Structures are given as structure tokens and as C-alpha cells.
Amino acid sequence: MAISKSKKNEILQELQQSFKEAKSVMFSKYSGISVSGFSKVRTALREQNVECRVAKKTLIKLAAKELGVDELHAESLDGPIAVVFSYDDELSGAKLIDKMSKDFEQLELTGGILDGQVFGPTEAKAYASIPSKEELYAKLLGSMQAPISGFHGVLHGTMRQFVGTLQAIADKNQ
């Protein structure tokens, strides 16, 4: 069904706004997923403040041009494409699509835009494999606590041996 010119302009305005507000934009194939399955994908994305839009490729390219991206990777827009806008965490959209691709084999990251840089499917999959901020903070905190914890263990062991030695002397003198 053909879309009227006014409807196309409305969709273009919404896409441009989403491109401006998003911290990152990912492109994903979705062909072959049932409507209920795609609804589950959108719900899971929405819970993480990630928006998933389906639009014509010409409108996506025009909205990207408004952002300053002149050329998108050809493989990023191959076939039916969903645009995933991440608003809070730059990588949350890529991570969720990658995670959900295990349940829905038709989902596949095909590229994206992060900090004005355009990338293809291999980089998108690499971004999806990066640990989340919370995981990185936990690892950093663990590595900062390790020397202190080791030092505490050494001091505690020395005290325990000293007390054990005193107890042995006391038991021997009885």
C-alpha cells in the first residue's frame, strides 16, 4: 500500500528526531519473524529504553543525512531493516538484539552508527559482545579490592599464627 507524501514527511520527522536523540543507532534484519515474535522483541527493547522502528530505506537514509551521515554501509540496509535507537546506554540496543537473536534466528545486526561513525555487521557484533557498564564497574571494583583483600589475608594469617603459637605454649605449660 502506498504511503501519502504527508505521512512520509511525518515518518521522516520522527526518524530525524530519533536519530538526534539516540546515543547509538543499530540496524537489524527481521524478515521471517512472526508478528507476535516481533512484538516480544519490541517489548523487550522498550523495557531498556530502546526504540525499534521499521521504515523505508530511503527515509532512513534521509534521516541519517540530517544527522551528518552521508553514506551508510550497503550491507547495513540489505533486505527488510529495523532501526534500533538506544537512548540510555550506547550498546544496550546491540546487546539486546544479539541476545534475542538466540531465540529469533532471523534477527541479525547488520550495522549501525555510534558517535557519528558508520560501521558494518562485524563491528556491530563486536560492540554487542562488549560487557555492560555495570559489569565493567564490577570488574574494576574487584581489581581495586584485590590488593587490599590480599593484604588483609596476610595480616590476618600472621595474627592467627601468633595466637596459635601462644595457645600452644600455654597448653605445653599446663
pLDDT in tens, 75-105: 777 888 888 898 888 888 888 888 888 888 8
| Cβ-based neighbour number of residue 5 at 10 Å | 8
Q: How far is CA 152 from the centre of its chain?
A: 37
pLDDT in tens, 34-47: 888 888 888 888 88
DSSP 60: H
pLDDT at position 1, please? Answer: 55
Which residue in the block uniquely carries the three cell numbers 534521516?
63
Q: How far is CA 158 from the centre of its chain?
A: 46
The predicted model scores a pTM of 0.73
CA distance 43 to 104: 14
CA distance 97 to 40: 12
Q: Are 97 and 84 in contact (CB under 8 A)?
A: yes
Fold designation for 5-130: Alpha-Beta Plaits (3.30.70)
- 125 vs 67, higher pLDDT: 125
